Structure 1
Amino acid sequence: MDRKNAIQNRFRDVRQTGKKALITYISAGDPDLDTTRKLVLTMEKNGTDIIELGVPFSDPVADGPVIQAASLRALQKGITIEKIFNLVRSLRQETAIPLILMVYFNSILQYGIERFTKACAGAGVDGLIVPDLPLEESEELRQTAAACNVDVIMLVAPTTPLERVKQIARVGKGFLYCVSVTGVTGMQKELDGGLAGFLTMVRSQTDLPLAVGFGISTPAQAATAAKLADGVIVGSAVIKVIENHLAADGLVEQVGAFVSRLKQGLADGITAQ
């Protein structure tokens, strides 16, 4: 299955419509795989342009309590990487939306780097985000993934020095993940006041699309970020909606409605420019 440049192509298509890309994150298998499949399709229907599927891990160092709890729920249901690959294969029967796995490097190592990237390509995964993999240790994964047309998406943070941003941007694929806060994922009351300057600095070093993540939890925050970046990433806030409706009917519909409000927020942000 050749899906070369699917992520950058989606950014290009969104840009051509005068909009910004909405990227949403959910933990694969939370609360179960069938619901994950329904969530992917519903989020796409309600305006998501790219979806990150979190691969549950026992020690998710970059994740805050909301995503940690989702990861634990999925692990308790017996989710495995193989089951996630099967889920992606199933989704590829119904959607071409770019799918990215957010996965900790230990999970890739245990599976085998080459075997993992080939399995990603075979299932229809378009990209990988590996939050605990530093630039200096990323070359083998980046080259192996590139040979399979799978993008390894690199992260930069407000604390990343200019020279290092330049090095990361040079090897990045798909888009650059611009972390909006220092710390772990989670919902924030307001975005960092230095975000505009940070993104201006990053943009001076690359032509890759820039997507802002970590801490964006409301349509208003999405609107603010949309004025500055090419895409906005929302994770913990989506999972919080899932968490709040675990024991109720309409979980999938509630997530769809929230995604629709986020997408409207992005549109409002552009209109306000």
Structure 2
Amino acid sequence: MSGNLTLLGEALATAKAEDRAALIAYLPAGFPTVDGGIEAVKAALDGGADIVEVGLPHSDPVLDGPVIQTADDIALRGGVKIADVMRTVREAHAATGKPILVMTYWNPIDRYGVARFTAELAEAGGAGCILPDLPVEEADLWREHAAEHGLATVFVVAPSSKDARIARITEAGSGFVYAASLMGVTGTRESVGAQAQDLVARTRATTDLPVCVGLGVSNAGQATEVAAFADGVIVGSAFVKRILDAPDTPSGIAAVRALAAELAEGVRKGRAGA
């Protein structure tokens, strides 16, 4: 059952072979509706994203900024459930053949049951999970079930992480490493900065896993900047904002596709002349 973890590795390897960073989009399940969210994920992939992270909306998203909190609130008020997250993964993967991960806080998985969650995610064609608030020391149960089903376990490193801590995190992870470019919550930023480049270098010193940078990238110029030194560029709030700002769902989906195309062009410029 390791096919989709392999698919994730192949997507990152293909980007590397093309001398560019991979484009990874984030969109919450159930936003603006379950059906609309599925169409948005497909649009991001059709527009040029290599990989999508599907967010599992949470009532207390401590690491997410106001844009994603707003989207999560809309999804939760719409009654989104874990079954809808699985459906989003299943339908978007079936339509595009591209790797799709779930990004979630630990509490919903813990309540749902680790064995049940990993089995259903693998059955839906998911490639793995990003678990931003699960400490490596408490991840053995998850890692055991994820490995059994061929799912990637993506952990997050931050600028505040000491080198020994980064090594511990990367040793336990699989798929890729999520490098949070700066301290604080998700959201668009004016610049992504040198802090991210330093974190990528420190992380690469501990692992052969691809290192993908998120938190703050919102436009093609920033994508180009980050693509110059990272293996992947992760964009979330900018996609969500396109949907929030749109007058209706079809317009929002079209805006997601257009942004993915702009960002895909941006990541391809990152290594030009480097």
Length-normalised TM-score, structure 1: 0.96
Other structure's SS at 1:270 match: coil
Task: Give the aligned partner of residue 16 of structure 1.
Answer: 17
Length-normalised TM-score, structure 2: 0.96
| Amino acid paired to 2:155 | M
Q: Deviations over 1:225-271 (max 9, x none)?
A: 00010100000111111110054752211111111111111112221
Q: Deviations over 1:164-203 (max 9, x none)?
A: 1111111110000000010111111111322222211111
Task: Give the aligned partner of residue 100 of structure 1.
Answer: 101
Shift in Å at residue 87 of structure 1? Answer: 2.7
Runs of 4+ in 1 over 6 A off after TM superposition: none
State the distance in 1 between where 2:207 and 2:251 align.
42
State the distance in 2 between where 1:269 and 1:90 align.
32
Task: Give the aligned partner of residue 252 of structure 2.
Answer: 251
Task: Give the aligned partner of residue 175 of structure 1.
Answer: 176
Unaligned stretches of 5+ residues in structure 2: none
State the distance in 2 between where 1:130 and 1:246 align.
33
- Number of residue pairs aligned between Structure 1 and Structure 2: 273
Task: Give the aligned partner of residue 218 of structure 1.
Answer: 219
| Amino acid paired to 2:234 | I
State the distance in 2 between where 1:113 and 1:141 align.
6
Q: Deviations over 1:32-82 (max 9, x none)?
A: 121122112221121100000000110111111110000000111111001
Shift in Å at residue 159 of structure 1? Answer: 0.5
| Residues 51, 100 of structure 1: 8 Å contact kept | yes
Shift in Å at residue 272 of structure 1? Answer: 4.3
| Residues 157, 166 of structure 2: 8 Å contact kept | yes
Task: Give the aligned partner of residue 7 of structure 1.
Answer: 8
Unaligned stretches of 5+ residues in structure 1: none
Task: Give the aligned partner of residue 122 of structure 1.
Answer: 123
| Amino acid paired to 1:213 | G
| Amino acid paired to 1:58 | S
| Residues 25, 51 of structure 1: 8 Å contact kept | yes
